Amino acid sequence: MALENEVTEKKYIKLNNSCVNDPIYLSWLNRFGGTSYWLFGKLNNYITKTKEVGYFERYVSDLETTQGNDGMISKTNEKSITVGAFVEETDMDGLRGLFESSKVKMLTNPTTWTTEGAKWHDVRIDTGSFIYKRTNKTNFEIEMDIILPKQYVISE
Amino acid sequence: MPLSIISTPEVDVNSNSNTVGKYFSVNRPIKFGIQRDADFAFTAINCNSTTVATVTATGFGAAWYDTVTAGTDFEIEITGSTLPDGTYTVTSDILIGSNSFTIDITGLGYTGADSFTGGDLKIVRLNYRVKTEISVAGSVVGTAVNKLDSNYQVETDISAFLKSSLSYAETFGFDVLNKKDTTVSNFFILKFAEFWSGYTGNYSSEGTGKFYLINSVRQLGDPYNGNMGDYTIFSNYDIADPRAKFLSDFEKPSYFEGYPFSLDFIFNADYGSSFSLNKHEEKFNINNSSSGVDVNVLSNIGKGYVNRMTLNGSYSSSVDHLEVWLEKIAVG
């Protein structure tokens, strides 16, 4: 039973002092209207995925000097980061919240935010399946794809 | 104005009438029940003949003069009288100062010897509707228009209007102990007005008083439907009441040393000017032995909103975990 003046639950906060070489720090709007956080930093793959927008055929007037007979109008490219982590079972409900949230942000200045203020970019967690509970298992290896903001490209 | 609110999404949290939850998830229906009340309560109906009866009560004329057209028959619905409930045609003009009018009772089988005790009556209005004006933080965000059911009641869901007023953004600088977040929470007020063909009423001047919206969502089986009562910090819990939860989806959130972090909560407006909050941080080593409690006074500015709250940080390497909670303190 709570003491008379206590007006909230007592929340257990785990401290994590691990040094991370290549940190990916995310925050997200959770289902209760608060903000949650997680630091990824062990298994990060940086990926770029391209897609052709359009293609055209050039008229060639001089076969000897032309540089080609086709051209590309543009390409889109989408950058993403595949992050992974080994986590405890008690963290899985929260990480499920990250996977399900539509409002996710990535800290873009993790090493300088204390002096210049935290800067965030909207990112998306790729959709799919996420196992968040398994009987008789206390540790999980998880993986998520973070889709970075759209890249602007040169176009014809 | 003959409109009243007959239901709201408020709940008595922990079945305690001193802790009424006024914070609602905008991703669930937020319904208010509205009822058109009787236009007038009358005292008696006396039959004059087999075709005409007189309805009597003090003040008809003053109340109705502006709402009906002189010389035009109109209909009223009578309920709760010993005269059978139903719709009757008014056959006399309603003049200022008049305390009675006549209705047509042709074919009902009554005579000048019959009389009835009072009940309620409503004028039958063509295309009667209720407008609900929704304001968030003082700005009108929309107007809901509803037709009433046969019992003169309606439930209006305003969640879609409220949701459009929130736009999630990271605005917390992590440089103060606590700060309100208006991108996920705010207050709203409702005002009501009735209108029908040829008439537009004014909105009630006082409105409903403040309610609060949170950009959260509830699930099947959660208590209190869309009400965030179990996450709202009240100032007057009974000693045995469960206390408010923090707005975290982690059972045990991790604080990554050196990175921005907040532990969020709903700072209830019921704290008013009498109470505020202290943050308590108790530090434990890996053997779960306490090395003391740090106490900080929170800012009062964020009452009525979701608050973002930072931790003290710079913990020594011997600290393995913390317990964090809030306590109320009297101020002023």
The two beta strands, A139-147 and A70-88, are antiparallel
Mean pLDDT (chain A, rounded): 90
Mark which residues 112-141 of B lie under 8 Å from A by CB. Answer: none
Q: Which residue has the tokens 């949230």?
A: A101
**The two structure tokens encoding residue B318:** 């011997």
What CATH number is given to the structural domain containing B197?
Answer: 2.60.40
Q: Which chain B residue has the Cα nearest residue A41?
A: B256
* Residue B222 forms part of a structural domain: no
Range of the domain at B104: 40-118
CA distance B296 to B204: 43
**The two structure tokens encoding residue A35:** 């903000």
The domain tally of chain B equals 3
Longest dimension (CA), chain A: 91
Cβ separation of A8 and B245 shorter than 8 Å?
yes
Cβ separation of A105 and B256 shorter than 8 Å?
no
CA distance B194 to B186: 27
Radius of gyration of chain B (CA): 28
Structural element, H or E, at residue B33: strand B31-36
Mark which residues 76-95 of A lie under 8 Å from B by CB. Answer: 90-91, 93-94
Residue B137 and residue B31 share a domain? yes
Which residue, B90, B118, B146, sits at the end of a domain? B118
Residue A27 in contact with residue B184, Cβ under 8 Å? no
Residue B179 and residue B68 share a domain? no
Residue B63 and residue B95 share a domain? yes
Radius of gyration of chain A (CA): 23
Residue B191 distance to chain A (closest CA, Å)? 26
Cβ separation of A7 and B254 shorter than 8 Å?
no
Residue B72 and residue B26 share a domain? no
The more confidently predicted of residues A134 and A122 is A122
Contact status of A138 with chain B (Cβ, < 8 Å): no
pLDDT exceeds 60 at position B3: yes
Chain A positions in Cβ-Cβ contact with residue B170 (cut-off 8 Å): 27, 35, 105, 118, 120
Residue B210 and residue B135 share a domain? yes
Q: Which chain B residue has the Cα nearest residue A10?
A: B325
pLDDT exceeds 80 at position B96: no
Residues B57-61 have a mean pLDDT of: 75
Residue A54 distance to chain B (closest CA, Å)? 35
Contact status of B313 with chain A (Cβ, < 8 Å): no
* Residue B220 forms part of a structural domain: no
DSSP per residue, A92-149: HHHHHHHHH-S-EEEES-TTTHHHH---EEEEEEPPS------TT--EEEEEEEEEPP
Residues B196-206 have a mean pLDDT of: 84
Give the closest residue to A20 by CA, choosing from A43, A54, A52.
A43
The more confidently predicted of residues B198 and B141 is B141
Q: Buried b / exposed e across A5-32, counting CB within 10 Å, b at 16+? A: ebbbbebebbbeeeebeebbbbbbbbbb
> Which of A11-20, A43-52, B91-100 shows the highest mean pLDDT?
A11-20
In eight-state DSSP terms, residue B174 is S
Residue B283 in contact with residue B322, Cβ under 8 Å? yes
Binning pLDDT at 50, 70 and 90, where does residue B274 land? confident
Binning pLDDT at 50, 70 and 90, where does residue B71 land? low
Residue A120 distance to chain B (closest CA, Å)? 8
Residues B101-118 have a mean pLDDT of: 92
Contact status of B331 with chain A (Cβ, < 8 Å): no
Residue B150 and residue B83 share a domain? no
pLDDT exceeds 80 at position A16: yes
Mark which residues 3-22 of A lie under 8 Å from B by CB. Answer: 3-18
pLDDT (tens digit, 9 = 90+) per residue, B13-43? 999 999 999 999 999 999 999 999 998 888 9
pLDDT exceeds 80 at position B303: yes
Chain A positions in Cβ-Cβ contact with residue B290 (cut-off 8 Å): none
The more confidently predicted of residues A135 and B133 is B133
User: pLDDT over 90 for what percent of chain A?
Assistant: 54
| Probe site for chain B from A1, A3, A4, A9 (most B CB atoms < 10 A) | A9
| Probe site for chain A from B162, B175, B219, B256 (most A CB atoms < 10 A) | B256
Cβ separation of A37 and B261 shorter than 8 Å?
yes
Side chain identity, residue B235: S
pLDDT exceeds 90 at position A53: no
Residue B22 and residue B53 share a domain? no
* Residue B15 forms part of a structural domain: yes
pLDDT for B70 equals: 63
Name, in order, each residue with C-beta under 8 angstroms of B267's C-beta and a sequence gap of 6 or more.
B178, B180, B233, B277, B298, B302, B303, B304, B305, B306, B307
pLDDT exceeds 70 at position A90: yes
pLDDT exceeds 60 at position B157: yes
**The two structure tokens encoding residue A14:** 């785990």
The more confidently predicted of residues A129 and B229 is B229
Binning pLDDT at 50, 70 and 90, where does residue B62 land? low
User: pLDDT over 70 for what percent of chain A?
Assistant: 99
Residue B147 and residue B69 share a domain? no
Residue B24 and residue B161 share a domain? yes
pLDDT for B85 equals: 93
Contact status of B319 with chain A (Cβ, < 8 Å): yes
Residue B242 and residue B182 share a domain? no
Q: Is the dihedral angle over the CA atoms B20, B25, B29, B32 positive or is it negative? A: positive
Residue B193 and residue B235 share a domain? no
Residue B27 in contact with residue B216, Cβ under 8 Å? yes
Nearest to A113 among B260, B322, B325 (CB): B260
Mark which residues 23-52 of A lie under 8 Å from B by CB. Answer: 23, 25, 27, 29-39
pLDDT for B68 equals: 63
Side chain identity, residue B183: T
Contact status of B257 with chain A (Cβ, < 8 Å): yes
**Tally of CB atoms within 10 A around B194:** 20
The values of phi and psi at residue B138, to 5°, are 90, -5
* Residue B190 forms part of a structural domain: yes
| Probe site for chain B from A1, A3, A10, A11 (most B CB atoms < 10 A) | A11
Chain B positions in Cβ-Cβ contact with residue A8 (cut-off 8 Å): 233, 243-246, 265, 325-326
Q: Which chain B residue has the Cα nearest residue A105?
A: B170
pLDDT exceeds 70 at position B69: no
Residues B155-184 have a mean pLDDT of: 95
CA distances from B249 to A34, A102, A129, B121, B178 (A): 8, 15, 19, 53, 19
ipTM reported for the complex, 2 dp: 0.89
Which residue, B184, B214, B244, sits at the end of a domain? B214
Cβ separation of B250 and A94 shorter than 8 Å?
yes
pTM: 0.89
